[in-house]
Amino acid sequence: MKVHDELAFMPATELLARIGRHDLSPVEVVDAFLERIGRLNKELNAYVLVLADEAMQKARDAEKALSGKQEHPPLLGLPIAIKDLFDMKAGVPNTFGCKPFKDYVPDVSATYVERLERAGAIVLGKPNTPEFGHKGVTDNYLFGPTSTPFHIGKNAGGSSGGSAAAVAAGLAPIAQGSDGGGSIRIPAAWCGVFGFKPSFGRVPAVARPDAFMLAVPFAHAGPLARSVADAVLMLNAIVGPEDRDPYSLPADAADYMAATRRGIKGLRVAWSPNLGGFPIEREVARVTAEAVRAFEDAGATVDEVNVKFPRGQAELCDAWLRQSAVRAAESAEGLKQSTGIDLRGSHRNEVPPEFAESLDLGHRLSAMDYRRDDVIRTEVLDGLQDVFDKYDLIVSPTLAALPVDNATNGNTLGPREIEGERVDPWIGWCLTYPYNFTGHPAASIPAGLSKDGLPVGLQVAARRFADETLLAACGAFEQARPWASTYPR
């Protein structure tokens, strides 16, 4: 294996430790990732923008800083990737995965991007995402689809698909994602990595002009990594209160890294094979049912439970689609005011027709329609809480299906039918979005591979604000059934 490849798959915790001991230089590490990106990204299509010159300059600056005696920020010299959605880096092109915005350059950074750079992380580039993150696969008219590294030509999942694929392929040690319906956990499942959606408000986001827009449905930022401990490195840098975010949680004394090592003996785990009624492909059902035993191996009690929602998956999905349509329409309208780009007007043919129709729906819904869907959210909250009243964790498959084939027209969609039941191709096959109705912390951990070698994810959710418990469970699973050897090299 080339030295570059050895560094690419080295845990981020080890990279940082070796940089701190001067066993590795930030220049050497950044150069290794840039070399792999140059060699592998064309086929994978994980990155849509690579900041090679800036990253190398930041690496040289970090190397100089490390030669001094002053205290260093915690992520100094560590390369990362930042999603190409609302995860903006000032002065760097940000397309939202949307053809009309190919030349858009923001002048402010997202709160968590600013925090990561302040912590010393070096941004390698911006990974791919679908237009405005509108669906559970990664493809768009501007850049085309992203593949899972486990099978080129099969989709990476979305909307943080470029981020997940970059991590799984060794093109970044850690990547940032965002999740408004599963967009961290979906690609984590299809790329075989760990994806963590913290409790809503744990990672602040200063949204403008509407500071309140990220609450319907709840949108979260979080890490994608090849290990739980690596994800915690990013998490530690971005959590904490922010007065300009009305939903940000107060600081706490949590030690997330220690939580990954503390074990879960005595915890009660509710295993739900279908999370209240989702149809599940047989191979996904087989892999996840076998994987959940790892919690018993780690000392937890596992019971199979029936999560009860008053409505079926199709009706729940429709509610998510309506609420997301309003937020997408609001975002598009705000960008229209600042850029003149009208996605419902002169640029309508430059986005997928389903997304254009969603923007129309967002404008058409009444205030009462919008509020009525919060009743459905409340039913989901109660159904989950009925289980959390007795159990510490709810475990299910992350997704109902294995990775789908990439389309050739820039508009890949998920499955329309699973085990004879119709599902919405945007997100109806994802068991993730119920936790965006409620804001619970949730993660996807690699459950194993299908008979054809495709990755399958296991979703783990904890009570509201119990992020430490969730990380402890994921850490215990990883220790019982490590997955580091599964990545294609």
Given the residues 160, 183, 396, 444, the one annotated as active site: 183
- How do the domains of the chain map onto residue ranges? 3-481
Q: What's the confidence (pLDDT) of residue 16?
A: 98
Give the burial class of 480: count Cβ atoms within 10 A of its Cβ; 0-12 exposed, 13-18 middle, 19 or more buried: middle
Q: What's the confidence (pLDDT) of residue 5?
A: 83
Q: What's the confidence (pLDDT) of residue 69?
A: 79
- Cα torsion 486, 137, 8, 41: sign: positive
Catalytic residue status for 83: yes
> pTM for the full model?
0.98
Alpha carbon 371 to chain centroid, angstroms: 27
Given the residues 147, 159, 163, 358, the one annotated as active site: 159
Low-confidence ranges of the chain (pLDDT < 50): 1
Q: What's the confidence (pLDDT) of residue 3?
A: 59
Catalytic residue status for 396: no
Task: Catalogue the long-range contacts made by 38-45 (C-beta closer than 8 Å, 24 or more residues apart).
Answer: 40/169, 40/171, 41/171, 43/147, 43/152, 44/146, 44/147, 44/149, 44/152, 44/165, 44/166, 44/169, 44/171, 45/128, 45/143, 45/144, 45/145, 45/146, 45/147, 45/162, 45/165
Tell me the three state secondary structure of residue 164: helix
Alpha carbon 384 to chain centroid, angstroms: 22
Given the residues 83, 99, 126, 154, the one annotated as active site: 83
First to last CA, the chain: 9
Structure token digits, residue 487 = 């990545």
Q: What's the confidence (pLDDT) of residue 2?
A: 61
Q: How many CB atoms lie within 10 A of CB 92?
A: 18
Q: Which fold does the domain 3-481 belong to in CATH?
A: Amidase signature (AS) enzymes (3.90.1300)
